[in-house]
Structure 1
């Protein structure tokens, strides 16, 4: 499978219960009044990894459905490459990958002389891996507080700064446990409530990679997420700033089907003796020996369904 463009779910309104769309106008009016009066606003952002645009239509997701009906719903087109870490860090910084430096989940760094990977904790926890300024640092620099739960890029100081509260990634906590972290933060006394909360689910990406984007496993993960969100939206009503919380539910990229018969054997195209290294991923990184670059580009570009770029052209 590979990632692709998708609409995101932008839930800027909270419904009562899990599917009570008929009561949404009261929430809408209260939020509009709070904004108009200049009262302090709060932001809670959830990203569901690879939650492609049509998954909610194929699964039973009453919570997401009600948010889409009564809130705002917009399309997004992810950055290129549309992989988890480049996409999430672009959302956090507002920068394209070539500007913030996380240009893929894995990539060769000439300065380091080795391949860096988000799957290697040593690389992820290296401050030099991350450029730009993530939004949680912008908030903290302006005197606000940010609680960031497992969002890619939040585990390491960037520019010597980090969120007030951050959590190292682990797949072990359930969706509901993660929802409860956010509820706990937002139901404290008002003076202790963070201004910005960002949290992350690694599904349905993992299920889609394992079984396909249209698989029953992906649908099951979507329904598990929706159940956790139902719990979250029910519990968050206890927050003393409930009417002033702006909720955003989004995704970093989608995913599409691949099949063996639609794959290209690059070893049959290029002179492998001229290939110095490859870095797996989407897109694939290829470094060739000096003098072979133009020929490699010519061979790749003439191949149907392939696009090839030189990094400096």
Structure 2
């Protein structure tokens, strides 16, 4: 979950948007709660809206409590999306908007240490560009192309992106760049207000109206952590966000604003329990290694001279978890080259947690960070709008494909430096 709590609001202005590459037909009435048709007074160009519902599992759509999301799915394109490893909030939100995996973009966990800055720790409240600048987000490419963007909460959107440290993205920007309009995250701002801000941006004249908007809802993830994925708390949160998405679609229709809605989640949610815990202090003593991060996976930094002892303790067979040196993490995780990743990683069996010590009290909750191929970690993907064929299905894909899709919708050229392409979406895109 995106836990940063900042009450201030901020906004920047920049260049006007440019024309959308399609001239799409009107949406059929069945594809949304209300038809997204243009008003007689203004023929609006379509906008692209990327919506993240943190921690929303695709199977939540099967519970009969999502009439709006289910209608969007039935009238558009949908499919199963795999998160990147680790299946955590910040790494995956940055992958969704950069098109590269955490090993390359540098947001390798929700909590990070960097050997070049000893004593500092990246957390979900960190907006120092140093931690974020290894790969540019989609709004940088869009703004440089003259396409106005806005972000109603998105991890990293408050960061003044100032050029990449990685050789693939040379320093092309002399000053920091953000979306033209952005707001710093506050968990206290209700989802209804987030929807209202998105619509308010779209009420502007064409010259200052964003063509790409990202927005974020956190309540489903919060409920999942608190009660587990099968709890009534989750059902209530899912129904709440579904209503708010329905309100957004209705407001778009009333405004006469055609929109390509891309609704995603960053990861799923697995049920966890105090009865399914591996106590790490019984495996690696604190005199041998420091635990950097625990949970569904754990990372370890050996103390000086204790590398061999740490390896001996971790790299043997353990019930309910598997461990590797960072250089030996299986290739399918695409993880282990970045210097910010600690020397050893252990991954828990789905539904188990790796904790520093045994829990002192019983608990039943939810968590994420497990193997991205696990069914419980799968992410939501729904795309609905004039660019998409109604009732179409996308084959299962990795979330590095989302940025290439956004580039296509915005009319930006493909970027060969990304880890994915839009190929999986081509069968479901209308070609006018």
TM-score (norm 2): 0.61
1:36 maps to: none
Task: Select the residue among 129, 135, 155 that pairs with 1:127.
Answer: 129
Q: CA deviation at 1:173?
A: 1.6
Q: State the distance in 1 between where 2:225 and 2:28 align.
A: 32
Q: Is the 8 A contact 1:136 1:146 kept in 2?
A: yes
Contact 1:81 1:282 in 2 (8 A): no
Q: Give, in angstroms, the shift of residue 268 of structure 1.
A: 1.1
Query: Which secondary structure state, in structure 2, belongs to the residue aligned with residue 236 of structure 1?
Result: helix
> Contact (CA 8 Å) 2:106, 2:131: kept in 1 or not?
yes
Counterpart residue number, 2:357: none
Q: Which residue of 2 aligns with 1:251?
A: 265
Q: Which residue of 1 aligns with 2:320?
A: 305
Show CA shifts across 1:144-195 (max 9, x none): 1100111000011011211100100001221111111111112323333211
Matched, 1:54 2:59: yes
Which one is further off, 78-87 or 296-305? 296-305
What's the counterpart of residue 203 of structure 1? 219
Which secondary structure state, in structure 2, belongs to the residue aligned with residue 261 of structure 1?
Answer: coil
User: For 1:204, what is the secondary structure of its paired residue?
Assistant: helix
1:73 equivalent to 2:78? Answer: yes
Deviation at 1:21, TM superposition (A): 5.0
Q: Does 1:90 align with 2:95?
A: yes
1:158 aligned onto 2:185: no
Deviation string 1:7-63 (CA, Å, 9 cap, x unpaired) is xxxxxx9675xxx55999x86xx89xxxxxxx9542111000000121122251100
Distance in 1 between residues matched to 2:289 and 2:233, nearest whole Å: 38
Q: Distance in 1 between matches of 2:231 and 2:87?
A: 21
Contact 1:102 1:129 in 2 (8 A): yes
Change (3 A) 1:138 1:153: same
The CA deviation string for residues 230-275 of structure 1, in whole angstroms up to 9 with x for no partner, is 11111111334x23x2111110000101122221111111233112
TM (norm. structure 1) is: 0.83
Q: 1:1-313 to 2 correspondence within 5 Å? A: 16=29, 20-21=30-31, 41-119=46-124, 121=125, 124-131=126-133, 132-159=135-162, 160-240=176-256, 242-243=257-258, 245-301=259-315, 302-313=317-328
Distance in 2 separating the partners of 1:220 and 1:127 = 36
**Matched residue SS, 1:156:** coil
In structure 2, the partner of 1:10 is none
Following the alignment from structure 1 to structure 2, what is the Cα–Cα distance between the partners of residues 89 and 161?
16
- Structure 1 regions of 5+ residues with no counterpart? 1-12, 32-38
8 Å contact from structure 1 (residues 21, 69) kept in 2: yes
Residue 294 and residue 305 in structure 1: after superposition, are their counterparts in 2 closer, same or farther (change >3 A)? farther
Cα distance, 1:198–1:23 mapped onto 2, change above 3 Å: closer
When the two structures are aligned, how many residues end up with a matched partner?
283
- 1:281: how far off? 4.4
Q: Distance in 2 between matches of 1:105 and 1:285?
A: 12
Structure 1 residue 298: deviation in Å? 4.0
Deviations 1:201-222 (A, max 9, x none): 1120111111111110011000
Query: Aligned to 1:258, what secondary structure does the other structure show?
Result: strand
CA separation in 2, counterparts of 1:166 and 1:23?
27
Q: Distance in 2 between matches of 1:21 and 1:237?
A: 12
Q: Aligned equivalents of 2:305 and 2:287: distance in 1?
A: 13
Q: Distance in 2 between matches of 1:106 and 1:263?
A: 21
Report deviation, 1:299: 3.0
Alpha-carbon distance, 1:285 to partner: 1.7
Q: Runs ≥4 in structure 1, deviation > 4 angstroms?
A: 13-16, 20-24
Contact persistence 1:149–1:167 (CA under 8 A): yes
